[in-house]
Amino acid sequence: MVLRSALFLIPLAVASGGVGQHVWELDLNAGVKEAVPASHFVEAMAFSEDDNWIAVLLSHGARLLSGDSYLLIIDVQHPEQNIRLADVPGSCWSGLTWNSEDDAVLACGRVIQIRDRTSCAVAGKSKTFWLDGRHVVSEDGKIFDRACTETGNFPLAGGWRIGAAAALTGWVLLERLVWSTAAKDVTFWNNTEITLVDRSSGQPVSGWEKGVGGISFDGATFAVGAQAVCYLQATPYFDIDRERVSISRHCRRVNGGREIGIPMILKGDLSKITQSATSSPRALVEKWGYGHMFLDDLFPPVLKKQMIIDLLSGRIILSWKPREQTPSALHHYTLSSTGRYLAESGDGRLELDRLPP
């Protein structure tokens, strides 16, 4: 892979279609020059830990069948300068993260070095995470250095796999699929059990020795600057001889495992934490709902509102109605690591908004 430089045409004085204080707007289609002009679809975005850079993974409309993607590295303060363009073989539509040193990006299972403009592919097709600033770990525990050379294995046993890793704090979230039986019934149902271990020792963190079961399909995520873990928990129960499932959201502190209070709007299963800032209690949240209370069983829920929420205080920093999603205009949002910025992509553009303090 060759990393090249490119320049965008930056219309800084355009009126904002975003949700915060408008900072700038980029035309992605004008920034990527190709022999066959076409729209570009953003697959994922991620801020660096210091909020100075935005990584954008996007696909060319004419290249969707081939599965290739582009990686853009954009300077937040000077977006018209130092914009680097890389080709990324394969399309993953997920998994774009910076390392803690802000000099490498993990995208589609590839480690891309920002300084020396090289990249390599991590062996295997499993999910991968930054274990620390210089190592990547796959969900099955294989550890690789930044040259993608396998250097060891993270201790896993009993069906556990790695579900997430917080490189800045050294926590590793483990998960495994378990089978349970509901009371008064012989019907089996499956759920996910999670626990939290220390990166250095591989041993459970205090308060997480027994793990937590019944985790719903939405999975678990680090939150509050990786000082807590939030998850949806499903509990089966019987109502008039009919098996039902009660779903509720919980957040527990990493140290000690004590449950913390969360805003009421996040309690049920119709809300979703789509992203948490890595060094702030702020989170990007989606609120879903039904169109008609008497037809809930006939139609799926729809996205009603998107918000930035402080998970500790419960304060709604910002809220807005979701944009209409069409095949030619898919809108994505990503929250910066410190919770100061919100980036939005869609209609071939990338916008940056500064959030209220």
Per-residue model confidence as pLDDT tens digits over 203-251: 999 999 988 887 776 678 999 999 999 998 877 666 666 666 677 889 9
- In the β-sheet with 83-88, what is the strand arrangement from edge to edge? 4-6, 83-88, 69-75, 53-60, 40-47
User: Which tens digit of pLDDT belongs to each residue from 140-151?
Assistant: 999 999 999 999
Residue 188 confidence (pLDDT)? 46
> What share of the chain has pLDDT > 90, as a percent?
45
CA 103 centroid distance within chain: 19
Token pair, residue 246, equals: 């009660």
The pLDDT score that the predictor gives to residue 158 is: 81
Position 9 pLDDT exceeds 50: no
CB atoms within 10 A of CB 289: 13
What pLDDT, on the 0 to 100 scale, is given for residue 38? 55
Contact 68, 58 (CB under 8 A): no
The CATH class of 4-354 is mainly beta
> Who contacts 285 (Cβ-Cβ below 8 Å, separation ≥6)?
265, 266, 271, 272, 273, 274, 306, 307, 308, 309
Q: Starting from the edge strand earliest in sequence, which strands make up the sheet with 119-121, in order?
A: 96-98, 104-107, 110-113, 119-121
- Of 187 and 355, more confident: 355
28 with 45: CB under 8 angstroms?
no
- 238-241-243-244 Cα dihedral, nearest 10 degrees: -60
pTM of the model: 0.86
Average pLDDT, the chain: 81
Does the pLDDT at position 330 exceed 90? no
The pLDDT of residue 134 is: 95
pLDDT at 82: 63
Which residue did the predictor score with more confidence, 287 or 86? 287
Question: pLDDT confidence of 31, banded at 50, 70, 90?
Answer: low
As beta bridge partners, residue 66 has none
Q: What is the reported pLDDT for 12?
A: 43
- What is the rounded CA–CA span in Å between residue 40 and residue 62? 9
Model confidence band, residue 315 (pLDDT cutoffs 50, 70, 90): very high
Domain regions of the chain by residue span: 4-354
pLDDT the model gives residue 51: 96
Average pLDDT over residues 93-100: 82
Rounded CA gap, 84 and 73, in Å? Answer: 5
Confidence band for 331, pLDDT divided at 50, 70 and 90: confident
